[in-house]
């Protein structure tokens, strides 16, 4: 069941990465943050830190839609 969660995440990520290359940069940054901080603060909190920092990077990288 643990593998199914990773497969679902990758299945949701790949179509977005193919359509928008900026999303690949954001997801790689979040992955690196998770990898770097997990030994110090634990795996669960590393995922939280990677998600929050990835979201903050996404705010500045992704352009807003013009209404």
Asked whether the CA dihedral 42, 45, 51, 53 is positive or negative, the reply is: negative
Average pLDDT score over the chain: 86
Distance CA 53, CA 67 (A): 27
Q: What tokens appear for 28 in the block? A: 């790689």
Model's pTM, two decimal places?
Answer: 0.74
In this prediction, what percent of the chain has a pLDDT beyond 90? 36
pLDDT digit string, tens, across residues 34-54: 999 999 998 889 989 999 999
Distance CA 34, CA 45 (A): 8
């Amino acid at each position: 069941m643990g593998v199914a969660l990773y497969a679902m995440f990758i299945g949701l990520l790949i179509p977005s990465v193919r359509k928008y290359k900026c999303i690949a940069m954001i997801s790689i940054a979040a992955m690196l943050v998770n990898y770097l901080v997990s030994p110090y603060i634990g795996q669960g909190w590393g995922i939280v830190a990677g998600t929050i920092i990835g979201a903050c990077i996404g705010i500045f990288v992704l352009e807003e839609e013009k209404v």
